[in-house]
Chains A and B, each alone.
Chain A
Amino acid sequence: MRGDTGFPVRLKFSEIGKVRFISHRDVARAFERAFRIAELPMAFTLGFSPRPKVSFGLALSVAHESDAEYLDLELTEPVDPESLVGPLTDALPEGISVIGATALADRAPALQESVSLLVWDIEVTNRAGEMPDTLAVARLAAAVMATTTLPTARTRKGRETTEDIRPVLRMIEVRGQGECGVLLRAELSTQPVAVRPGELVAALDADLVELRSRRVAQWIERGGARLEPLVADQRAEETARAS
């Protein structure tokens, strides 16, 4: 977000429950309405069709939940970021909660470019919808970690292609049992290709299906360290804070 004249802020929010069925675009619209309801001093773009300066992080697919979504916005005056959390959550649909806010450094790199690692919790069942054998799934996960390639059928722009998703997979392991299936945790790079939890599950074993997925963390990796996006580009001095 280019904070040339305004006061950029980064928000962290969760998206849990029924609301996970709305699209990324719907989430964006809900935030725009929430900014108005909470009467935030939004900065607008110039031009014939002025729009509030907001930029979202990576899209969350329909039906996926998340503990860690982010967006950047720009205000025209300094506001204590913490003071945004409650009013925005009240103004948002049930299930979307703002859980953190921080003043952002000027010219901080955009979320979509800087977030490099996503952590997912994925509950899987077998095709019949039953609980798979936990140990068997754990062995599958270990076997995938031991290989160097993982060719996966993917549909991209309506075309079936086969791509190797192994370079994107940093880690996968069994975490235990969920309500209906086995819980996996996976860490996926955002580059060079974005891999969906369902694609990963299908690549693991043709008999496994994704039941429910939740993004539990997003990381910005710099100089070998994992940085929480709220912290990574925080404004150094406290100038953005209201006194």
Chain B
Amino acid sequence: MSSITAKAGELRALETLSGKNTAIHRLAPGVKIAATLAFIVVCASFGRYEFFRLVPYLFFPFIMMALAELPYRLLLTRTLIALPFCLFAGLANVFYDRAAAFSVYGIAVSFGTLSLLTILLKTYLCVMAALLLAATTPFVEITASLRRAHLPTAFVMIFETTYRYTGVLLEEVHSMTTAYRLRSGTKKALDMRHMGSFLGQLVLRGFDRAERVHAAQRCRGYSLRRIPPPRRKLRLSDAAYLAAVCIPAALLRFVALY
């Protein structure tokens, strides 16, 4: 059950990181979102065996982590979460695609192994790109740019409240599970027959809490249809960043270095 506090900590860790003040953090959020999406699409477009051509893309996460002063270890461990499913799909390639691609000092490397490596590298690059976005852009700025992109207000509101309440409810779940554990002796997990009422309680508690919070907010003049914050003028640094990410990414897609 300690995973619950760990999860809440993870959420808070990224939020804390996004509050830093570096050149990357100061960039316009829309520009960062666009560059991240472009980077991911280009990475995903590489073929199954193009492991070597993907390696230069490692410049992006490495340089970004350094410029934004982010902790290497935290982001690295977080990317590991994404690996199991990709590893499963990639391992299948090792068994189904056994023809030798090349050999290094007599050790044959099969196409399957090569495609497994490609999948793992792609996973790392794509996951890092998304994490870097979250770690360098405060949540309010992400939602503000979603509003400016004319996503439906109702959806942006739901997105915001879900994020805010996640932290709150993780704490609620933590105290509920602790209480359950103390009541039930040494049990590490809930009995399945208790799940219905346990989660049901969480549902009712959550609804009540949300209603109370919302009523209190309304009393203080809060409205759901908030006007989006004024559009921040694009600076030269924003354009430079976009160019510095997109142009090399596109060039490396079409031109092989080696």
Q: Real complex partners, A and B? A: no
Seen from chain A, the residues whose Cβ lies within 8 Å of a Cβ on chain B are none
- Interface of B toward A, CB cutoff 8 Å: none
